[in-house]
């Protein structure tokens, strides 16, 4: 697998405790929307038992100029170094990896079930599909505790307004802790919520990604609804 040294361009806060890091895309770096990179810090100021490498989905869409990853800024050596990294600093990306990518047959709908920082590959896939005007019917169910926590909420909601093939369903599970207004769904993603937007649950291909506990919960809902084969998952181990 090719390995690239990439330079940080800038970083920004995209939700509470969540940052995006934009890197220069090196010549010849080719990837599919939804793939991930192993990101290694070069000579970091500190390290810990988990080491200097983490897997990150590429949240950028391939048509975009930058490579971008996004992460929850927990208090680990890797993330402390990332948080204080100056523009121009290089990291190594071993990429692309993974097969969490949109299927080719546009007549089969795609349903994404995601939560929290699991949204990163979904942003990439949705923006790429919209940019290239793919004709797939696509639904995204995106769960967070509150809007303040929801990375890329605007990116995903705005595309919804201009694309009839694309439906965005955001849901918040702890609105009582939010100071923002929310007009979308509330509560965890459930079979009943899916049925509000999908007539026949057995038709689509499902893409589930996020922390392992969420992936398991979503898989169980689908299995109980009679969906078995058409489920693709990406587990963010480490959460």
Ligand X SMILES: Cc1cc2nc3c(=O)[nH]c(=O)nc-3n(C[C@H](O)[C@H](O)[C@H](O)COP(=O)(O)OP(=O)(O)OC[C@H]3O[C@@H](n4cnc5c(N)ncnc54)[C@H](O)[C@@H]3O)c2cc1C
CA 8 – CA 105 distance, rounded (Å): 36
Q: 144 and 115 in contact (C-beta within 8 Å)?
A: yes
Q: Going edge to edge, which strands form the sheet with 3-15?
A: 53-57, 36-41, 90-97, 3-15, 18-23, 67-72
Among 4, 56, 152, 206, binds ligand X (CB under 6 A): 56
**Rounded to the nearest whole angstrom, what is the least distance from the CB of residue 167 to ligand X in the complex?**
23
CB nearer to ligand X: pick between 53 and 202: 53
**Rounded to the nearest whole angstrom, what is the least distance from the CB of residue 137 to ligand X in the complex?**
25
Sort 10 into a burial class: Cβ within 10 Å, 0-12 / 13-18 / 19+. exposed
Told to check if 57 binds ligand X by CB under 6 A, we report: yes
Q: 209 and 143 in contact (C-beta within 8 Å)?
A: no
Q: Which helix (H) or strand (E) holds 220?
A: helix 212-224
Upstream peptide bond of 19 is cis (omega within 30 degrees of 0): no
CB nearer to ligand X: pick between 37 and 138: 37
Helices (H), 32-184: 77-83, 120-131, 153-162
CA 27 – CA 33 distance, rounded (Å): 17
Contact partners, residue 199, CB within 8 Å, separation at least 6: none
* Piece in contact with ligand X (CB under 6 A), picked from 76-84, 148-156, 159-167, 200-208: 76-84
CB nearer to ligand X: pick between 24 and 235: 235
Told to check if 101 binds ligand X by CB under 6 A, we report: no
DSSP state of 85: P
**Residue closest to ligand X (Cβ):** 238
State both tokens at 41. 């810090």
**Rounded to the nearest whole angstrom, what is the least distance from the CB of residue 191 to ligand X in the complex?**
27
**Rounded to the nearest whole angstrom, what is the least distance from the CB of residue 51 to ligand X in the complex?**
8
Residue numbers 14-43 binding ligand X by CB under 6 A: 36
Among 110, 117, 150, 231, binds ligand X (CB under 6 A): 117
- Number of residues binding to ligand X, judged by CB under 6 A: 23
Told to check if 141 binds ligand X by CB under 6 A, we report: no
Q: What would the x/- binding string for ligand X be over residues 120 to 139, using CB under 6 A?
A: x-------------------
**Rounded to the nearest whole angstrom, what is the least distance from the CB of residue 70 to ligand X in the complex?**
6
Q: Enumerate binding residues for ligand X (CB under 6 A).
A: 36, 50, 54-57, 69-72, 74-76, 78-79, 98, 117, 120, 234, 236-239
């Amino acid at each position: 697998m090719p390995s690239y040294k990439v330079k940080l361009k800038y970083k920004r806060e995209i939700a509470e405790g969540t940052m995006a890091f934009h890197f220069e895309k090196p010549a010849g770096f080719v990837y599919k929307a939804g793939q991930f990179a192993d990101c290694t810090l070069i000579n970091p100021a500190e390290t810990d038992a988990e080491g200097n490498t983490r897997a990150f989905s590429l949240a950028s869409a391939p048509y975009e100029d930058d490579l971008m990853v996004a992460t929850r800024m927990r208090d680990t050596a890797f993330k402390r170094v990332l948080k204080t990294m100056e523009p121009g600093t290089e990291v190594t990306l071993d990429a692309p990896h993974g097969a969490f990518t949109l299927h080719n047959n546009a007549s089969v709908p795609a349903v994404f079930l995601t939560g929290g920082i699991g949204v990163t590959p979904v942003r990439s896939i949705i923006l790429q599909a919209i940019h290239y005007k793919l004709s797939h019917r696509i639904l995204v169910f995106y769960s967070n505790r509150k809007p303040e926590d929801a990375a890329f909420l605007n990116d995903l909601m705005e595309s919804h307004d201009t694309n009839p093939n694309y439906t965005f369903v955001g849901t918040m599970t702890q609105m009582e802790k939010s100071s923002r207004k929310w007009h979308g769904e509330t509560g965890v993603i459930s079979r009943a919520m899916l049925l509000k937007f999908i007539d026949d649950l057995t038709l689509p291909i499902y893409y589930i990604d996020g922390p392992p506990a969420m992936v398991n919960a979503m898989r169980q809902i689908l299995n109980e609804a009679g969906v078995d084969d058409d489920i693709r998952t990406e587990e963010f181990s480490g959460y």
